[in-house]
Amino acid sequence: MDKYILAIESSCDDTSAAVFRNNVVLSNKVAGQAIHEQYGGVVPELASREHQKNIVPVVDVALKEAGITANQINAVAYTRGPGLMGSLLVGVSFAKGFALANNIPLIEVNHLQAHVLAHFIQEENNKIEQPEFPFLCLLVSGGNSQIILVKDYLDMEIIGQTIDDAAGEAFDKCAKVMGLPYPGGPLIDKYAKSGNPDAFSFAKPSVKNYDYSFSGLKTSFLYFLRDNIKTNPEFINENKEDLCASLQKTIVDILLLKLTKAAKDLNINHLALAGGVSANSELRQRFLDLADNKTKTFIPKFSYTTDNAAMVGISGYYKYLKNIFGSQSNAPFSRIDF
Ligand code: KG4
């Protein structure tokens, strides 16, 4: 019999609700929070307040669009962590209340695991090709940069991760020192399109195994700008495109070097990309270019790579199949490992 799952995501600054019939997404609504733009980053207290305003209308629209009523839902899946505590609490409290009111089970979802499982979301009348186990997933977002060995839907191992900043943070922080608004990642992508990626070179880290580090790059970028501004106050304006292209190339080089090394060492042929930074056009193109007659590459649809509840719904579905349910007494986690 078909199972209907309501999914809730509220870990950072997007309030999202999705409805699934088994592994098929019926609706996936996201309310973003423009309020943070003026502060140059997400303000946690403001994020929680916006979630409070958005959660009920977003769920309402998701149910309506799916053509499903609350009493048809078999379980409610929600992001338990990691994320901002105040933001998580809004989604967690809503999910618990919804589960109690409808007498249905709760399913706790790890936000990072959900980014990976976004590759398994299916759409009505549109079969989406999926990676085969085991595969490697490069998860790059504003808060994480990880290489994950995915052995099964719910069996994942982080084999490499950033020891300091995430790739998205590197984009955003470097954009900030150039005077670009938050989030700067998409703007760097935009300006890079008309710049020369070999105009400047920046420090690449030397980190062990499959780990990443981006704080050195950020510092080297900052010092490079500072030194050049001393002799030419217009240096950033005059070189914006080249700076963005060179910085972006460096970040993508760093990300793909470790991924290809891991794939070679572990002899894995299916590679997947996940997280908000996978929107970056150079990363997407160079990642897709890794495909050959042996290697296959996978990137989910854009709407499933940024923070969204559809990825929580698909994770909930695979947990439901294994009868892995949560508890009303469990609190959210701001930090969590698989
Ligand atoms: O996964 P995500 O939506 O949420 C968080 O983890 O917060 O990722 C957001 C991150 C931000 O750092 C943003 O600047 C970055 O993804 N990002 C991009 C692009 N689009 C979003 N970075 C580079 N190029 C892009 N086109």
CB atoms within 10 A of CB 99: 21
From the CB of 304, is ligand 1 less than 6 Å away?
Answer: no
C-alpha of residue 302 to centroid of ligand 1, in Å: 11
From the CB of 308, is ligand 1 less than 6 Å away?
Answer: no
The whole-number pLDDT of residue 41 equals: 82
From the CB of 168, is ligand 1 less than 6 Å away?
Answer: yes
Q: Write the CA distances from 327 to 81, 102, 261, 268, 330, integer angstroms.
A: 14, 15, 40, 37, 6
pLDDT band at 338 (very low <50, low <70, confident <90, very high): very low
What residue ranges in 227-276 does DSSP mark as E strands? 270-274
- Joined together, the tokens standing for residue 285 give 């193109």
| High-pLDDT (> 90) share of the chain, % | 92
The whole-number pLDDT of residue 337 equals: 54
pLDDT tens for 20-60 read 999 999 999 999 998 988 887 889 999 999 999 999 999 99
CA atoms of 108 and 171, how far apart (whole Å): 31
C-alpha of residue 184 to centroid of ligand 1, in Å: 8
To test the pocket of ligand 1, the residue of 141, 144, 193, 305 to mutate (highest count of ligand atoms within 8 Å of its CB) is 141
pLDDT band at 138 (very low <50, low <70, confident <90, very high): very high
**Average pLDDT, rounded, for the chain:** 96
The whole-number pLDDT of residue 200 equals: 97
pLDDT tens for 175-203 read 999 999 888 999 999 999 999 999 999 98
To test the pocket of ligand 1, the residue of 277, 281, 283, 312 to mutate (highest count of ligand atoms within 8 Å of its CB) is 277
From the CB of 141, is ligand 1 less than 6 Å away?
Answer: yes
Residue 307 has pLDDT above 80, yes or no: yes
Question: Of the candidates 89, 59, 64, which has an alpha carbon nearest to the alpha carbon of residue 76?
Answer: 59
Taking residues 305-333, report their average pLDDT.
97
CA-based end-to-end distance of the chain: 30
From the CB of 277, is ligand 1 less than 6 Å away?
Answer: yes
pLDDT tens for 198-225 read 999 998 988 999 999 999 999 999 999 9
Question: Of the candidates 319, 272, 335, 280, which has an alpha carbon nearest to the alpha carbon of residue 132?
Answer: 272
C-alpha of residue 97 to centroid of ligand 1, in Å: 31
pLDDT tens for 109-130 read 999 999 999 999 999 999 999 9
The whole-number pLDDT of residue 40 equals: 77
C-alpha of residue 128 to centroid of ligand 1, in Å: 23
Nearest residue (by CA) to ligand 1, atom 8, is 276
From the CB of 83, is ligand 1 less than 6 Å away?
Answer: no
Contact (CB, 8 A) for 280 and 274: no
Contact (CB, 8 A) for 248 and 280: yes
Contact (CB, 8 A) for 162 and 210: no
C-alpha of residue 167 to centroid of ligand 1, in Å: 9
